[in-house]
Amino acid sequence: MRRGCFVKNLIAFVGVVISVCCLLVIMVSVLQLPEVSLRNEVTGPNRTIRIRKVSKDEEIGRFGEMMIEMLPEDLAFTVFVPSEKAFQRDLRLRLNDSLVAEKRNDTYAVVSRILGFSAVPQTLSSATVSSSKEVFYDSLSGFTLYISKDLDGMLVVNRIRSEKVDLRRGQIVVHIMDGVIMDAEFEQAVQPDYTEED
């Protein structure tokens, strides 16, 4: 009788191991990220659009660089980076202040929070947005981004217009915005104190 019990337990053990292995294979295949093309162009129906590569010092600014450095360069992301003027105007972050305080946690906390609101985990060039239709995507933080295109081809994200579109850093597409994309709660938290003298 003991031998029969051993065989039943062995069969149950093998069944559990096979079930777990099958479940792992299914989970890995479902969670596998899609392959990303390494070409410098985005193709759509009947069109090919070239995306420019950006050197480190061109138009993105130091805060934008900090945002992009937080993302892996080999994965496809789209980032709506505020311009340096927008960082200064909307968040009161100045480049000369940040050079002294660059390593301070509060500067990185603000920049990483803005990254969460303004990064989408896929490639989105201006050519993929139709002029006649608004599209929406969830950002890394789950904040919904409503994206449309102006008549002149510039993107508008949550009522903030872009200054430059389709800049490229590795697999990351960067759009420079004339404002900071953030939710109402964070916007209220970073409102300037008007009692300070400017």
Residues 88-109 pLDDT 10s:
888 887 765 444 444 456 778 8
pLDDT digits (tens, 9 = 90+) for 161-194: 999 999 998 889 999 999 999 988 888 887 766 5
Which three-class secondary structure string do you get for 58-122?
CCCHHHHHHHHHCCCCCCCEEEEEECHHHHHHHHCCCHHHHHHHCCCHHHHHHHHHHHHHHEECC
- pTM for this prediction: 0.65
